[in-house]
């Protein structure tokens, strides 16, 4: 009986345990997966994220004028599982800690994260190609110097004679 | 008299939960927002009721499976006007990870007018509270 009263008094002194949200601050656990943030500069359009997406929320489509690729994540079918972030080789996709997802019905189909990956011409043959991100070069060539000219070549011009000429 | 009643009614929007084939993730989060003191949705005057006849705000979880559709519509039409529908989780909004399944023909808003969407799998209790606050505002304008 005594111990029980002691606990009651202790809890009374502690004050309410209710989370004050939305009137006050709330807590965020470490590693909380919220809405996706997309960095089109680092994206190499490998489409791994599109492939692993559980909710089929990611779409990468070529623009109608063939000038680049549209990247769209529809948050209304994204399960926030983080697979895209995990498999993204250049970490162009990042999960933010933004969990505030409530929105009205009117915004339903505009509730997206978008990005545009603009094609650049190949410095050798001139065909439009997806720009090679610096993150990918660092991943593929580690600390090998002088790969900038490689990054300006499309995948057909990169191997073979081109390389030997530059050396 | 009517205005006075409105002012009183706004202080206690009653919640009613329809599970349309949910995996129970969102249902657990709903129970968490309401039934434990930590998030305490009852601060807004909300209260879960067991009968659709008493409901003001309807919280729908689950992807509206083909088997459940007619039963859900039956219950939905028993809820008196004005009512506000909140779709909780990605399943009722778009089908979520179950989209294109043989058991799910269309998302919820093909059958029922939805007012507020709270995507997430499941959404955090705080996000659900956001949605309920939005729904209460819409309900005020509908009264």
Question: Per-residue pLDDT tens for B84-141?
Answer: 999 999 999 998 899 888 999 889 989 999 999 999 888 999 999 999 999 998 998 8
* pLDDT for A67 beyond 80: yes
Is B1 inside any structural domain? no
Q: Outline where DSSP puts E strands in A39-163.
A: 58-62, 68-74, 93-95, 103-104, 112-118, 120-121, 128-129
- The C-alpha atoms of residue B143 and residue B5 are separated, in whole angstroms, by 10
Q: What is the mean pLDDT of chain B?
A: 89
Average pLDDT score over residue span B34-61: 89
A44: nearest Cα among A135, A110, A106: A135
pLDDT band at residue A157 using 50, 70 and 90 as cut-offs? confident
Is B138 inside any structural domain? yes
* pLDDT for A167 beyond 50: no
Q: With the C-alpha atoms ordered A98, A100, A101, A104, is the resulting torsion angle positive or negative?
A: negative
Average pLDDT score over residue span B45-73: 91
For A67, the 3-state DSSP assignment is coil
Domain range for B115 is: 12-142
Is B72 inside any structural domain? yes
Is B5 inside any structural domain? no
What is the number of structural domains in chain B?
1
State what percent of residues in chain B have pLDDT above 70: 100
Is B101 inside any structural domain? yes
pLDDT (0 to 100) of residue A86: 93
Is B96 inside any structural domain? yes
Q: What is the pTM of this model?
A: 0.85
User: Residues A111-155: pLDDT tens digits?
Assistant: 999 999 999 998 888 889 988 888 888 888 777 666 777 788 888
CB contact under 8 A, A54 and B120: no
- Closest Cβ opposite residue B90 in set A16, A77, A99: A77
- Closest Cβ opposite residue A99 in set B99, B124, B133: B124
Provide, as residue numbers in chain B, all residues whose Cβ is less than 8 Å from the Cβ of A17.
Answer: 37-38
pLDDT (0 to 100) of residue A161: 52
* pLDDT for A165 beyond 70: no
Is B24 inside any structural domain? yes
CATH code (residue B42): 3.40.50.12280
Q: What is the mean pLDDT of chain A?
A: 86
């Amino acid at each position: 009986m005594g111990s029980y009263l002691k606990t009651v008094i202790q809890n009374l002194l502690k004050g309410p345990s209710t989370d004050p949200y939305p009137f006050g601050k709330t807590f965020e656990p470490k590693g909380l997966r919220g809405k996706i943030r997309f960095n089109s500069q680092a994206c190499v359009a490998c489409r791994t994220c599109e492939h692993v997406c559980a909710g089929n929320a990611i779409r990468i489509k070529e623009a109608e004028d063939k000038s680049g690729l549209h990247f769209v994540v529809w948050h209304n079918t994204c399960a926030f599982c983080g697979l895209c972030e995990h498999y993204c080789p250049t970490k162009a996709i990042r999960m933010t800690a933004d969990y505030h997802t409530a929105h009205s019905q009117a915004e339903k189909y505009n509730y997206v994260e978008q990005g545009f990956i603009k094609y650049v011409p190949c410095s050798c043959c001139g065909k439009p190609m997806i720009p090679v991100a610096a993150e990918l070069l660092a991943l593929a060539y580690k600390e090998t110097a002088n790969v900038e000219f490689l990054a300006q070549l499309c995948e057909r011009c990169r191997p073979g004679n081109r390389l030997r000429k530059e050396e | 008299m009517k205005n006075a009643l409105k002012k009183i009614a706004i202080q206690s929007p009653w919640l009613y939960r329809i599970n349309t084939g949910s995996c129970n993730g969102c249902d657990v989060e709903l129970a968490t927002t309401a039934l434990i003191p930590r998030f305490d949705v009852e601060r807004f005057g909300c209260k879960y009721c067991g009968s659709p006849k008493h409901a003001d705000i309807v919280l729908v979880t689950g992807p509206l499976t083909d088997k459940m559709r007619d039963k859900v519509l039956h219950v939905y039409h028993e809820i008196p006007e004005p009512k506000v529908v909140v779709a909780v989780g990605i399943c009722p909004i778009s089908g979520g990870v179950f989209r294109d399944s043989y058991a799910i023909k269309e998302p919820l808003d093909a059958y029922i007018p939805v007012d507020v969407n709270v995507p997430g799998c499941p959404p955090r209790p705080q996000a659900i509270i956001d949605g309920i606050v939005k729904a209460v505002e819409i309900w005020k304008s509908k009264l």
